Structure formats: C-alpha cells, structure tokens
Amino acid sequence: MRAQGVVLVTIALFVGIAGLVLHLLALCSPHWRITKRDLEPIMEPVSYGLWERCEYVNMTIIKQGVALGIRPHVQTCRPNLYMRYTPETFLTCYNIRRNCPVIQKNQIPSGCVCRYLSSDRALQWLTVIAAIFLILGLLLLYLKTIAQPLNESAVLLLSYAPFVCFLLALVSMATSLILIGAFLRRDSYEDYSFPLKSVSNNSIAPLNFDLHSLRNYAKFYEKSFTRDQHIAAEKELRDDAHTHYHTVIGRATIFEIIATALIALLPSLHSYLVQHHDRICNF
C-alpha cells in the first residue's frame, strides 16, 4: 500500500509539472490567436498573444546608412496595445490610433491612452493566477510527501490545501479558454480598419473605422448619426472583418487546452489520496 501511495503521488507530481510547463509556455507565447487574410492582397498571418502581437515582414538590412539587402520573412513582435479614447477626444486620437505599438508615452496626446483590450487584461490575470496556484499546489503536495505534521491544523492544511489550489487553477484556466473562444475575433475588429458604406455618405465621416473608433464616432456625432445607423455600421464592420479575415487558435491555446486537461486530473487524484489516507502510505 505504501508503494502504491508513492506511485500515485509521483504520478500527480509529474502530471502537475507537465501541466505547469505547458501553461507557462502558453503564458509567454504570442501565438494564442492567428488571424489570416482571405482576400487579395494576401498578407502574412498575424499572431496575437496575451502581451504581444507578431507578424512577418521583409526587413531591410542597413549598415552605416547603406542598404545591404532585404531579409525576407522576419518575425517582428510589438506590445499588443490599442488606442483608447473618449468621444470628446475623438478628433485628436483617431489619426494616431494605429501608433500605439511604436509611440512613446510622452508623445501620446492628452486624452489618448494605449492599453490592452479588457479581454486580454482578464486573460493576463487569469493565467498568472492559475500559474501561482499551480506552483503553490505542487509545492504543498511535495511538502506533504516529505513532512511530518505535528498538529491537526498542519495535517488539515496539507491534506486539503493542494486540492483547493489545483481546483482554483483549473477554474482560472478553464475560464481563460472560455474567454479565448468568446473573443476569438476581437483583435480583427480592433487591429484593422474598414471603409463603411453605412457612413460614407456623411461628409464628416473618416475613411476607415475599427470597432472602437466607430463607437466613439457614433457618440461624437450622435446628433447627425442615429442609433439605427450605428447598429447598421457596426454590423457592416463585423461582416467585413469576417469576409476579409478569419481567426484560428494558435499553438499557445493548444498548449493551454492540454495543460487544462492535465490539471483537471489533479483534484480527483488528490481527493482519492486523501480518502484513502489510512490505507495508502499514511497519506
């Protein structure tokens, strides 16, 4: 029985460590979502992560002011930031809305701010929290195998704290995957602009819109741009985005799915070990 307990704890530790490694790989990867253009001109795919977005470009190599040649298909990554502003600062911020990945903070006009999308911020928090609970749970599980608790409180803590940590990590990871599915196309609405027929007859309309600029345009010109026009324009923007681009999950999301499946085994395994405390290795 003691050998069986040691084997089960070892399996739990290996499963947990494998899930943690995959989760950390996903956390640091910029390949959670991949957006590809379906219409001409065909463009290189753009990958979006929790912190960065990456694309492939042809880079000109320059030395001492002299162009030496072009290196094709070079991956460049930038912070996955978007310009956020209010209707009152629409005219100021609209023309520089695409500059967030490269603009310096001291160059951003008052009223404009570069930040991550709310869905990305939620994903950042959830994945970091999941990593913390995973590490804590694995440490407590390992500590339980080598420590001899001296009082009932310590026994209770080491018996149930790993289960709670694994369960909270699992909930965080599962919620992250739900958010990925719910906001899979969100970057294509924000990162690309589309000319909209719904507002093209308005002489004061800008040429192109992304989702955030369209919503602020509608509020800024609410007297001349009706709610029905706004709804029609937003539908047209989403339809254009779906026609021009499609988004699929990247390898980081696949890592996270596998990690979640592995971590889902740990609460059940730990419960089994606790329930058989007297029969398996005094666990």
pLDDT digits (tens, 9 = 90+) for 224-257: 888 888 899 999 999 998 888 899 999 999 999 9
Confidence at residue 90, expressed as pLDDT on a 0 to 100 scale: 85
What is the percentage of the chain residues whose pLDDT exceeds 70?
Answer: 82
CA 34 to chain centre: 12
Distance of alpha carbon 190 from alpha carbon 15, whole angstroms: 38
State mean pLDDT over 89-102: 83
| Integer Cα distance of 280 and 277 in angstroms | 6
What mean pLDDT do residues 1-27 have?
Answer: 82
Task: Check residue 38 and report its DSSP letter.
Answer: -
Confidence grade of residue 37 (pLDDT, cut at 50, 70, 90): confident
Q: What share of the chain has pLDDT > 90, as a percent?
A: 31
Q: How far apart are CA 283 and CA 278, in angstroms?
A: 7
* Predicted local confidence at residue 195, as pLDDT: 86
Structure tokens at 219: 């509020």
Which band of pLDDT confidence, cut at 50, 70 and 90, is reported for residue 4?
low
On the question of pLDDT at 2 being above 60, the answer is: no
Backbone angles phi, psi at 75, to 5 degrees: -80, 125
Average confidence score pLDDT of the chain: 83
What pLDDT sits at residue 220? Answer: 86
Q: How far apart are CA 154 and CA 149, in angstroms?
A: 5
pLDDT above 70 (res 202): no
Angle between helices 251-263 and 265-275 (to 10 degrees): 10
Residue with tokens 């909930």: 171
C-beta of residue 262 within 8 angstroms of C-beta of residue 18: yes
Closest alpha carbon to 167 in 142, 197, 209, 130? 130
What are the strands of the beta sheet with 46-48, ordered from one edge?
66-79, 52-63, 46-48, 33-37, 245-249
The pTM score is: 0.84
Give CA–CA dist 241/185, Å, rounded. 9
Q: Could you read off the pLDDT of 108-127 as tens digits, one per residue?
A: 888 888 999 999 999 999 99
Mean pLDDT, residues 146-159: 62
pLDDT digits (tens, 9 = 90+) for 179-195: 999 999 988 898 888 88
Is residue 5's pLDDT more than 70?
Answer: no
